[in-house]
Structure 1
Amino acid sequence: MNQGKNIKKKIFNDPVLGFITISDSLILKLIEHPYFQRLKRISQTGLTYYVYPGSTHTRFLHALGATHLMQLTLQVLKQKGVKISKDEERAASVAILLHDIGHGPFSHALESTLMDNIHHESLSITFMNLLNNEYNGELSLALEIFRDKYPRKFFHQLISSQIDLDRLDYLKRDSFFTGVSEGNINSERIITMMNVVHDELVIDEKGIYSIEQYLTSRLFMYWQVYFHKTSVTAEVYLIQALKRAKDLIKDCKKIPSTSTLSYFLNKSDFSQLNAEDIMYFSRLDDTDIITALKDWQFVDDEILKILSQSIIQRKLPFSRISSHPKSDEEIRKLKSKVEEKYNLKDGKYFVHQNKLNIFLYEGKMQAIKLLLKTGEIVKLQDLGNPVFNNESNKYICRYHLCFPRDIL
């Protein structure tokens, strides 16, 4: 801290990116706000620590890392002659800092379970609006950028696109904490290759190999980490435990939970968010869910008990990922076996088949553009690389199936 100039500065020691320095007073206040501090209690990668024990990092650390990358990127762009005002620089940093502030417990796992059809991005905008009111409109430009309403499109593209700073941080970070080296991208190299033409983000031609490595690394991370059959299975059973709890409450059964989680278990209609919804959501984090699951291991309801024990004690069901789905009749037979084994009327909580899909590269909606040495701008898929110009190679689909091991 520089007492003479009265500049408050904070340095965070990030194991992935090194020292992160924040000296902007507004950003420091936002970091210290309870809305943002909650992200310390939200897992960045859900339940992937069931497979990779080191994967216990948080949304808080990721948001700081993405903000650091934004600061680096804006400096690179200014050195290349892109005019960026102080207000734009602050707004872009604020927007990337708060891009995940609307995430709920265990990141994406419970996004549609506790609050039906409420996406984390819409909640992020809600929180940003609240903070904007609290700080007398200082986040107005950040909101414009985040919502893609600002005419200089590259600012939003740095936050949300096929090669945004969000992805550049989480791929490198998740690779580090999981130990999956295939995902370790060179984010600094990619940032130095970024440029702006007509207020749109482009990549200098010599960065093409770094871009290709980034896209393939992202694919590896999805299949080895985010879509690993064990972590997906744990998330499926976590979702089912919450659904079972809500079903029991609808039947007027009492089950233990924190007061914060109880609010969401007892309410079903979130089509019109109100101040009370937001207040309770701002208090909700992973600890509410874990605390409940620990208690639910000992409830009278056999279904909720088995689901909770499966997660807390890591007694997970059999699972596999394949290229072709099981038929409806095969799924029905598996459910019948579960019903017979556990003496249940409905095996729907225990047998699940889900579709997993990922675009290796989405060239139609938001293509990555390269700036050639000639000054021409071309889309990545138009350069003749067979990996990216064949539509069949860009979309990959698999099917995840899980059911109790004792019916094998």
Structure 2
Amino acid sequence: MVPTWTLSLLLLTGLVTKGLSIPLADKEAWNYVEVREGAHMFWWLYYADSQSAGYTELPLVMWLQGGPGGSGSGFGNFEEIGPLNRDLEPRKQSWVQAASVLFVDNPVGTGFSYTDGPDGFATDVATVASDMLVLLKHFFSEKTDFQSIPFYIFSESYGGKMAAAISLELSNAIAQGTVKCNFAGVALGDSWISPLDSVMTWGPYLYTTSLLDDNGLAAVGSAAEMVKQAVEQQQFLKATELWSMTETVVEQYTNGVNFYNILTQDPDEKVRSSVGEDFIALQARRHIRPLHSQSLSQLMNGPIRKKLGIIPQNVTWGGQAEDVFSHMAGDFMRPVVDVVNQLLIAGVNVTVYNGQLDLIVDTIGQELWVKQLKWGGLPGFNKLTWRPLDDPIAPGVTGAFYKTYKNFAFYWILRAGHMIPSDQGPMALQMMKMITQQA
């Protein structure tokens, strides 16, 4: 018998041509949902492919990418946790071996999702959440065998901000009986929950890692203070522009540090601001285009598009990504700490996980907003001492620390940047298993 993902690989490379655009029965499924008039959201499901358990015995994980404008069906799938990597080779640490994985290209306009016109784009996380609720209601109505399976939302970067809002909407919908699913928790990875706490700690983090001197620390701190003033004045579009300017100051004083992993620097991928460049265009170059590399774009718009067989002719994977970011710019710097508070108070299982080497959402900033939570269990959580986890491929070497108390957990992932599954795949997989109560 041909292994599942070997067959999938054959399909993708054209070695098997019959039924190219037909999902493998009980192995894959994909489709579009029109979440609003003229707003079409794409989803792609991989059924769990475990040697020891059927998919109905394993959880369902939905993965949400960042940006906003980053594609889960592309980057999350082929660069992080899907069954095949960008070269269409089987991934050893694919999450599909321990869970069914649902990739959704959101907000609308991301990846293969698309809008029929400019009015179809979301402009805030409230719209993002209501759109996702429409999709999830449709998904669980169509895939009734998943209604009783524990369902988790995992996220990365801005995806975490969206995941928090979506989780609250979903919890309310389940309580009202409008969506049937077994929602078991949300995991917020390197998430843009409190943007200001991230920006305000960039300087101290870079200084303590020898990437800024005293002059640089002062310059970054001064730029960050301007962001703070705009946020405090509720001028969020201005705050987004000032955030962009602060990143430029960081680049100038660190010789182009990588915001996603401070220990990696590719001279060919340094992003320098141009005189007079619009901040939206600059941030798209910094944070959207890296999720749409040329090789990944060729894969998605070539063999993957052919395999899926349902992508409209006028839709290009990633073609509306920068428009997604632009329309969300006014909401970008708004915090959602209050949403996380509501989730915890409502008893929803919430996990925060962060990479040690991430700058854009540094761990220091994450810990600051966590300490501001109004959740009654916080004092008990704070009293705990974190516990070490061995690196799964290097026994005796610490790969992470974690704390868990009642319905809240925090994982500190060592030697990882912003994209934890890419940097530390085995550790990320083990963490996922622990969160979904498989370890």
> Common fold, TM-score beyond 0.5?
no
Higher strand share: 2
Higher helix share: 1
Query: TM-score, normalization: structure 1?
Result: 0.28
Indicate the structure (1 or 2) with the bigger Cα radius of gyration: 1
Query: TM-score, normalization: structure 2?
Result: 0.27
